[in-house]
Amino acid sequence: MKANWKFFFLAALVILVVFPFAYLLLLSMASEWRFPELWPAYFGMRNWEQVVSSETGLISSFLVSTGISFSVATMSTFIGFFISRGIAYHPYKRTITLLTYFPYILAPVVFAACLSYFFLKLGLFGKPVGVFVAQFMVAFPYALIFFSSFWGEKTKSYEELVATLGGNQLQAFRKVLLPIAKNMLIICFFQTFLISWFEYGLTSIIGVGKVQTLTIKVFLFIKESNFYYGALSCCLLILPPVLLLYINKRYVFNKLI
Amino acid sequence: MTISEPLSLKNKASNIGFIFFGLIGILPFVAAFVYALLYSFGLVGAANSGFTTEFWISTWQSGAFIKSLVYSTVVAGTSIFISVSIALWLTLKFRKELEHPILAFAMYLPLAIPGIVAAFFTFQLLAKAGFFSRIAYAFGWITEARQFPDLVNDPYAIGIIATFISIVTPFLLLLFLNVYKNERVDELAQLSQSLGANKQQTVWRVSLPVVLNKTWTLIGLYFIFLLGAYEVPLILGQESPQMLSVLIIREIKQYDLSRLSEGYVVAVIYTVIVTTAAVLLFSRKNDVKHEG
Amino acid sequence: MFLEVQHIVKSFQKEEVVKDLNFTLAAHQTLSILGQSGCGKTTMLKIIGGLVKPDGGHIYLNGNLIDDVTPEKRSIVYLYQEDLLFPHLNVFENIAFGLKIKKINASETTDRVHQMIASLELQGQEKKMPHQLSGGQRQRVSFGRAIITNPALLLLDEPFGSLDTGTRARMQDLFKKIASEFRITSLFVTHDLKEAILMGDHIGYMQSGKLKVYENKEAFIQDDHTGVQKEIDFWKALTN
């Protein structure tokens, strides 16, 4: 019966979606899981207890990632908001918007490789600040594109309206534009946070292994074939996005154009 | 008639904004490109000694770049094609069911998984000593790990393509569902049927064209993203050929300084390709809003 | 004269949108301007409001040259055709906006807003959000917001264009009542013939960037360009 197959198919789809999370969680709590066993020899909290220890460095990585991503998100969102206004109101809006897409499309890792010479010269190589700057340069175009749909004839009219009612630019922003943009600001914040949070290639090049974000840690564990800690770091990596999804899935969905 | 002029273009704040945009949004990328260009011609770089086209020639001759380009294009293209097909099929078949809260939430879950985690997970499942291999063993289909087929680090990029599909399909599904609702394809389909078309014709002549028309730019964008992907092919790819970004980084980060420039040659070509693609994609996009 | 507009011209990309605008308006009077779309009336209003810079000419308000005065300091309010209420503020806060900008104290603000709400016949709607109001109600809030700051000049750009006939008639009555109650000086632009005749103390006709203000309503009716005579003939023919 048609209704039945649809139900089973969708149920299977849900299981398919949840499976990676379950598997990674399982793997993170496992140890000595050798071929051909279908179930690990050890299953418990031992790995997770190591998270707080300085040996794995996972807590510090988590904090480094959080710090960098939070800064990147804050700066990109607010600076992007104001500058996208200048672009949207500019007579050459189309050309400039085209230019904005270009950094967004270029693979961050290639960009980082070509830019490392300059980072070295500026003393930003291998430092969290350097990683922050590099990630900002990648998240900023995204914010510009994101807010480009906000500014238009309507916002221009609001600004003019506030002017004729006696308000200056600052009041227009504080009393009208920022409140209206509130939802978009929040969404952009979380989107740029995730762009930075998930970043690996660029971080590995500019950070040169010295700035150990969570993604770097995942890769290190994979290289060492330490799959249990690898899964653990994956779980830590996925934790914030899943929480965000639970609170409001809009924060994570990317509505580009 | 409403021709409006920006109020504060002459504002000092606007000018500062532009300088900032130029500094952060444009300058670094121009600088990176120029540096790569200069390096590729031997004009900068520790082991280089002046203008030369030898690196461009040797890159061309070695064929590594061409192979990588073709390989990347095929992998990215296949992944996009399959993802779009699956997402479209799910959209058309399950549109109503997907509004159910549990399913709606489940659709967003994959977005929480980044490339590197997806690659790691795929590796865990498809590797020779991985999960599927153990299941095969349990069913008696193989007796040793070695007998399990090469699904990762393999010439057919099976692992890479599977991972790409698992990452891109959820995004596309959400996008198509969104577009379907906004463009009121439901109503268009009903209209089409009232004009005499059957279900099949409606799908191919109305529903699909409307959805694809609105989304082809984004699909093109995803193709470009996959083309330049790094983490996934890094973990799941093989020695040769490699996808473009992996090739570039490997060449640039290698110890043989005299061969470094070849990496920058590929970087320059890749940038030109991406820029051209961006220009083509977005200059065709109609983003002018007409006021009634 | 309270408002003096002298030789204002404006072109956009080689197209002359406003050609040699000259007229005057006494205080507490309404000048209604009849014009079709594309005749340059919006641009003219925006120039007077300071939102667009003219290519030449001068504007005097109450004897002062205001060419270089920024819009927020001109005390001239420009009202759009669509109501453009602030979506995140309710009726009360929308109307109070101009007063809050001027940092008027809370109790005076409350008094004045309530007075205005009464004049606008919007009692009971204070806490409603814009999307909960009808078109006519939104337009009234828009008025209230503009008038409460006692602007020197009010510029209305086809304010009733998007309303249905019944609501439109009611709004026309309301405007006349409020204009006299608050002694407003205003320019009222419309493409509706009847409205132009009803709303203004004086009347003008704008076409292709040129404005002609008539001595009186008879002169306006007799001019062929305005189309009044054609209307009269039309209705006459119907009754015969």
Instruction: Say yes or no to pLDDT of B289 above 60.
Output: no
Q: How confident is the model over A182-220, as pLDDT tens digits?
A: 988 998 998 899 999 999 999 999 998 889 999 999 999
Q: What is the pLDDT of residue A2?
A: 63
Lookup: tokens for A239: 């934790």
- A83, A159, A216, A235, B283 from A207: Cα distances, Å: 28, 43, 9, 22, 36
Confidence (pLDDT) at B14: 67
Asked whether the beta carbons of residue B3 and residue C17 sit closer than 8 angstroms, the reply is yes
Instruction: Please say if the pLDDT value at position B4 is more than 60.
Output: no
Taking the C-alpha atoms of residue C235 and residue A189, their distance in angstroms, rounded to an integer, is 63
pLDDT at position B70 is: 93
Q: Give the pLDDT confidence of C102-131 residue by residue, as tens digits.
A: 888 999 999 999 999 998 889 999 999 999
Do A237 and B26 lie within an 8 Å CB cutoff? no
Helix (H, G, I), strand (E, B) or coil at A65: helix
Distance of CA B194 to the CA centre of its chain: 39
Residue A53 has pLDDT above 90, yes or no: no
Q: pLDDT (tens digit, 9 = 90+) per residue, C54-100?
A: 999 999 998 899 988 888 888 899 888 787 899 889 999 999 998 98
Instruction: Specify the pLDDT at position B11.
Output: 59
| 3 state DSSP class of B258 | helix
Residues of C in contact with B3 (CB under 8 A): 12, 17, 43
Residue-level pLDDT at B186: 85
Q: What is the pLDDT of residue A252?
A: 64
A40 touches chain C (CB under 8 A): no
Q: Which residue of C has its CA nearest to B4?
A: C52
User: Greater confidence, A42 or B112?
Assistant: B112
Q: How does pLDDT run across B143-198, given as a tens digit for each residue?
A: 887 888 888 888 888 999 999 999 999 999 999 998 888 888 888 888 888 888 88
Would you say B211 and B183 are in contact if contact means Cβ atoms under 8 Å apart? yes
Which segment, A90-99, A102-111, A194-203, A247-256, is predicted with the most confidence on average? Answer: A194-203
Going from the C-alpha of C226 to that of each of B75, C35, C222, the distances in angstroms are: 69, 9, 8
A135 neighbors A72 (Cβ within 8 angstroms): yes
Residue A177 has pLDDT above 90, yes or no: yes
Asked if the model's pLDDT at residue A254 lies above 70, the reply is: no
Cis peptide leading into residue A108 (ω within 30°): no
- In this predicted structure, the answer to whether residue C216 has a pLDDT above a threshold of 70 is yes
pLDDT reading at A256 higher than 70: no
pLDDT exceeds cutoff 50 at B8:
no
**Structure-token pair, residue C110:** 């409350």
| Pairwise CB contact (< 8 Å): C40 & B3 | no
Find the CATH number of the domain harbouring B166: 1.10.3720.10
Name the percent of chain C lying above pLDDT 90. Answer: 29
Q: Which two tokens stand for residue B254?
A: 């290698």
Amino acid C92: pLDDT:
95
Average pLDDT over residues C191-216: 87
Asked if A14 lies within 8 A of B14 by C-beta distance, the reply is no
Place of tokens 């690659």: B119
On average, the pLDDT of chain C sits at 88
Min Cα separation B94/chain A (Å): 8
Nearest to B3 among C12, C37, C71 (CB): C12
Q: What is the number of CB-based contacts under 8 A between chain A and chain C? A: 58
Note whether C70 contacts A163, CB cutoff 8 Å: yes
Average pLDDT value for residue range A9-21 = 91
- Using a CB-CB cut-off of 8 Å, the residues of chain A touching C78 are 160-161, 164
pLDDT of B116-151, one tens digit each?
Answer: 999 999 999 998 888 888 888 888 888 887 888 888
- CA dist B71 and B75 (Å) reads 6
User: Domain containing C10 — which CATH number?
Assistant: 3.40.50.300
For C59, the domain range is 3-239
In a domain, B159, yes or no: yes
Please list every residue in chain C whose beta carbon sits closer than 8 Å to the beta carbon of residue A162.
72, 101
Averaged pLDDT for residues C154-174:
87
Domains defined along chain A, listed by start: 1-44 (no CATH), 57-251 (1.10.3720.10)
d(CA C78, CA C187): 10
Q: Identify whether B31 is part of a domain.
A: no
Residue B21 included in any domain:
no
Residue A153 to residue C195: CA distance in whole angstroms: 28
User: From the CA of B21, how many Å to the nearest CA of chain C?
Assistant: 26
Residues of chain A contacting B253 with CB distance shorter than 8 Å = 113, 205
Q: Which residue of A has its CA nearest to C100?
A: A167
Give the pLDDT confidence score for residue C17 in this predicted structure.
Answer: 86
Using a CB–CB cutoff of 8 Å, tell me whether B179 touches chain A.
no
Enumerate neighbours of C (3 or more CB pairs within 8 A): A, B
pLDDT at residue B69 in the model: 92
Q: Which residues of B touch A257 (CB under 8 A)?
A: 217-218, 285
Tell me what pLDDT residue B291 has: 28
Q: In what order do the strands lie in the sheet with C56-61?
A: C15-25, C3-12, C56-61, C64-65
Q: Is A236 on the interface with B (CB under 8 A)?
A: no
- Say if residue C211 is exposed, middle or buried (CB neighbours under 10 Å; 0-12, 13-18, 19+): buried
Residues of C in contact with A158 (CB under 8 A): 84, 86
C214: pLDDT strictly greater than 50: yes
Taking the Cβ of residue C72 and every Cβ of chain A, the question of whether any pair is shorter than 8 Å is answered with yes
Using alpha carbons only, how large is chain A's radius of gyration in Å? 22
Q: For chain C, say whether A174 makes contact (Cβ under 8 Å).
A: no
Pairing of strands C153-157, C186-190: parallel
Query: Searching chain A, which residue's CA lies closest to the CA of residue C84?
Result: A158
Arithmetic mean of pLDDT, C34-51 = 86
Q: What is the pLDDT of residue A255?
A: 53
How far, CA to CA in Å, does A94 sit from each of A144, B122, B282? 13, 41, 10
Q: Which of B105, B121, B230 sits opposite A109 (nearest CB)?
A: B230
CA A188 to chain centroid? 10
Residue A50's pLDDT is: 78
Can you give the pLDDT at residue A1? 56
Residue A153 has pLDDT above 60, yes or no: yes
What ipTM goes with this model?
0.87
Mean pLDDT over B225-244 rounds to 90
Instruction: For residue A159, list chain C residues with Cβ-Cβ distance below 8 A.
Output: none
Let me know: does B110 contact B170? Beta carbons within 8 Å. yes
- Given an 8 Å threshold on Cβ–Cβ distance, is A168 in contact with C72? yes
DSSP H or E segment with residue B202 = helix B199-202
pLDDT band at B114 (very low <50, low <70, confident <90, very high): very high
To the nearest whole angstrom, how far is the Cα of A169 from the nearest Cα of chain C?
A: 9
Tell me which amino acid residue B195 is.
Answer: L
Highest mean pLDDT (candidates B275-284, C45-54, C76-85, C213-222): C45-54
Residue B287 has pLDDT above 70, yes or no: no
Cα separation, B16 vs B19, in Å, equals 5
Q: How far is CA B111 from CA A36, A186, A226, B115, B214, in A?
A: 31, 18, 25, 10, 22
Q: What is the CA radius of gyration of chain C?
A: 18
Which residue type sits at B128?
Answer: K
- If DSSP codes are grouped into helix, strand and coil, which group holds residue A152? coil
A23: confidence class by pLDDT, cuts 50, 70, 90: very high
Q: Which residue has the tokens 């990762």?
A: B152
Percent of chain A with pLDDT over 70: 95
Answer yes or no: do B230 and A201 touch at CB < 8 A: yes
The token pair that represents C169 in the structure block: 């008639």
A165 touches chain C (CB under 8 A): yes
Q: Is residue B162 part of a domain?
A: yes
Q: How many domains does chain C have?
A: 1
In eight-state DSSP terms, residue A177 is I
Pairwise CB contact (< 8 Å): A24 & B117: yes
Nearest to residue A102, comparing CAs of A150, A152, A151, A138? A138
| pLDDT confidence tier of residue B1, bands split at 50, 70 and 90 | very low
Over the stretch A214-243, which tens digit does the pLDDT of each residue have?
A: 999 999 998 898 888 899 999 999 988 888
In degrees rounded to 5, what are phi and psi of residue C187? -110, 125
Structure tokens at B67: 């192979």
The reply to whether B286 touches chain C by the CB within 8 Å rule is no
Residue B169: the pLDDT is 94
**From CA B149, how far away is CA A222, in angstroms rounded?**
21
pLDDT in tens, B26-81: 888 888 899 999 888 888 877 777 888 888 888 888 888 889 999 999 999 999 99
- Which residue did the predictor score with more confidence, A32 or A134? A134
HSE-up of B32 (CA within 13 Å, CB side)? 28
Residue C66 tokens, joined: 């205001």
Does C50 contact chain A (CB < 8 Å)? yes
Q: Report pLDDT for B286.
A: 52
Q: Do B1 and C51 touch (CB under 8 A)?
A: no
DSSP state of B261: H
In 3D, which of A6, A214, A211, A221 has the Cα closest to residue A128? A211
Instruction: Identify which of B20, B178, B248 has the shortest CB distance to residue A110.
Output: B248
- Encode chain C in three state secondary structure: CCEEEEEEEEEECCEEEEEEEEEEECCCCEEEEEECCCCCHHHHHHHHHCCCCCCEEEEEECCEECCCCCHHHHCEEEECCCCCCCCCCCHHHHHHHHHHHCCCCHHHHHHHHHHHHHHCCCCCCCCCCHHHCCHHHHHHHHHHHHHCCCCCEEEEECCCCCCCHHHHHHHHHHHHHHHHHCCCCEEEEECCHHHHHHHCCEEEEEECCEEEECCCHHHHHHCHHHCHHHHHHHHHHHHC
Percent of all residues in chain B with a pLDDT value above 90, rounded to a whole number = 28
pLDDT confidence bin for B2, thresholds 50/70/90: very low
Range of the domain at B218: 63-284
Number of domain units in chain B: 1
